[in-house]
Structure 1
Amino acid sequence: MNSWVSRIFSPLSKRCLLILLLAILAGCSGRQIAFPEPPATQLGAVPFYPQEAYQCGPAALATVLGWSGSEVDLAALVASVYLPGRQGSLQPEIVAAARRAGRIPYPIPADPASIGAELAAGHPVLVLQNLGLASSPRWHYAVVVGYDPVDGNFILRSGTERSRREDVQRFMSSWQRADYWGLVVLPPGQLPASQHVVAPLVRALADAEAFLSVQDALATWERLLAQWPDDPEVLFGSANARRRGADPASAASLFRQLLRHDPGHVAARNNFADLLLSQGCVQRAGQVMAGIDDGAVPDYLAGAITDTRRSLREEARHHRSDADRCADW
């Protein structure tokens, strides 16, 4: 009797468990993630670097770097971003390697609409997906290169597949579980299409600037300045870039514009005064430094302020009036 019951109950219980699991999965997939549907797009010029083992991070980074025109050494990328102990790559390593390649990695907004905006602009998007569960993640990097509205699929360079098609809701769920982390890796002088807030753009450019040539950095600051002509940090970065580009008069003009809008900008006063000293405008530099409120000087600028004031005192000892010569500065 017991053996007969067990023979009947065992397969029934397995079927019940399977039905329960399917019901749970159906419930999860039923939560639709709304987003503006992108137009039909496929960026055919994006190269493909199939991954080996767990090395999806280097492969995805090589894909966007190759598209941007940067020379790609996949072995070097693996050495710089792949962490064998973790069997994967962390986001900071991906970002740092993109900068070292002379490119600017811009984070895209954590918004489902971001990918469509970048694809429409012709930019492939490097994304992080969680192909597992929130409680048991399985991380994977891929590059979104297109969208097919007929089938409702995103097209990805992913793993060993050159044109992997993923159902839009399946993709969006995996991207959502990775907090919508994504990057566009752009050549200097270009800006992302999806980012309409200036602060992340300024931060991304400032963090990459040490790896860019003077002219490449200047070209990108000028693009930002064209879109945000009155933003204090854009004015500050552009003024510094123009000075490094051997255009002190134009840099001075931007510093003056910035200080008219934000007279308490300590870093701008310091850098403008330093520029004026380099042009022999000692009295004018003293006027600019006099506007600094010592109580408003942040700790990280205290050393620079002290150095500029010291230089100002030394120059003032043997300097004649520069009122006429430096009036326009």
Structure 2
Amino acid sequence: MIGWLAACAPAFDPDARLSVDLPTRAQVSGVPLIQQEAFFCGPTSIAMVMQWAGSDIGQADVAKLAFNPGAGGTYLADMIGSSRRLGQLAVEINTFDQLLSEIDAGHPVIVFQNLGLGVAPVWHYGVVTGYDFDADAVYLNSGQLNQMILPFATFERTWRRGDFWGLVVLPPDELPVSVGQTDILSAAAALERVAQWTGAETLYQTGAARWPGNWLWQFGLANARYGGGDLRGARQALLRARAIAPDIPEIRANLAQVESEL
């Protein structure tokens, strides 16, 4: 079926299709190949990228948070939510520019594909680990013990059927390269909402180092430390936020609250 899908498709032209300058090939090393259990392509994909980052989590552990038995699979929102409940930075992407830029930066990317036809969809999550323009190849870890290699045109067609949905899942001390500061701030705030205080604190610190002139990183860092019970650390972050933006009333109010509790 894969060969049939690609038979009449034009070759992928990076010069015409991309707005970023990328090398002709890139490969993310060290992403494990995990044989998925039935219907566990979503949890397996998350397990692969987390193991790549150094975790020892397995697909069954992820499935406890991500798998929906009634649906017989994992919803997109649960891919994001479970990654965050596991303390990871999770942001969506939806273009080839973003996908290939992340691969070039050494970050694997989870993608949502339909490997079937319109009348017989086969929805599937896989992990893109590399590309090669000269070889016309996209490399994926796709829940089997052998790597999947697709021509660009075939990969694009299967990914388009999934609305070009992709997910970058990284440890919170590493930032994606293809999304903006606002999206990363939102991801940090999402870690707070699921009480992942340590992950949120690390992500706010990482963002503050990248964008030191934005008071929101220190403000968020204070919130994460406060949520984790570190009042002195929260006060320190609020003082830094006030030094950056002395006229923000929320900073003054939170600082007063923390100092009263201390």
Task: After superposition, give the CA deviation of every residue in 1:124-166 in whole Å (9 maximum; x if it has no partner).
Answer: 1111112345676432100011112331101100132531101
Determine if contact 2:142/2:148 at 8 Å carries over to the other structure. yes
Deviation per CA, 1:88-128: give whole Å up to 9, x if none: 211222222222323222223x2211122111221111111
**Corresponding pairs, count:** 250
Of the two structures, which has the highest relative contact order with CA contacts closer than 8 Å and spacing of 6 or more? 2
Q: Give yes or no for the alignment of 1:217 onto 2:200.
A: yes
Ranges in structure 2 where 5+ consecutive residues have no aligned partner: none
Q: Structure 1 unaligned runs (5+)?
A: 1-21, 280-329
Q: Which of 74, 90, 95 pairs up with 1:111?
A: 95
1:258 to partner: Cα distance: 5.2
Aligned partner letter, 1:220: L
CA-atom RMSD in angstroms: 2.9
Between Structure 1 and Structure 2, the one with more helix by share is 1
Cα pair distance change 1:174/1:232, threshold 3 Å = farther
Matched, 1:275 2:258: yes
Structure 2 equivalent of residue 305 of structure 1: none
Closer, same or farther: CA 51–183 of 1 in aligned 2, 3 Å: same
CA distance in 2, matches of 1:175, 1:122: 21
Superposed, 1:151-162 pairs within 5 Å as: 151-162=135-146
Structure 2 residue corresponding to 1:64, chosen from 49, 66, 82: 49
Of residues 174, 180, 187 in structure 2, which corresponds to 1:190? 174
Q: 1:245 to 1:167 in 2, by over 3 A?
A: farther
What TM-score do you get using the length of structure 2 for normalisation? 0.81
2:108 aligned partner, one-letter code: P
**Aligned residues of 2:111 and 2:167 also touching (Cα < 8 A):** yes
Counterparts in 2 of 1:213 and 1:71: CA distance versus 1, 3 Å: farther
Counterpart in the other structure of 1:87: 72
Q: What is the SS of the residue equivalent to 2:232?
A: coil
Tell me the percent identity. 32
Q: 1:173: which partner in 2?
A: 157
Q: How far did 1:245 drift?
A: 6.7
* Structure 2 residue matching 1:162: 3-state secondary structure: coil
Aligned partners of 2:72, 2:171: CA distance in 1, in Å? 29
Task: Name the larger-Rg structure.
Answer: 1
Give yes or no for the alignment of 1:40 onto 2:39: no
* 1:1-329 map, 5 Å: 26=8, 29-30=9-10, 34-35=17-18, 36=20, 38-108=23-93, 110-132=94-116, 137-195=121-179, 197-209=180-192, 210-214=194-198, 216-241=199-224, 244=230, 246-247=232-233, 250-257=236-243, 259-260=245-246, 263=248, 265=249, 267-279=250-262
Matched residue type, 2:155: F
For the structure 1 residues 86 and 217, does the alpha-carbon distance in structure 2 shift closer, same or farther, using more than 3 Å as the test? closer
1:68/1:185 contact within 8 Å kept = no
* Contact 1:38–1:116 (8 Å) recurs in 2: no
Q: For the residues of structure 1 that align with 2:260 and 2:61, how far apart are their CA atoms?
A: 44
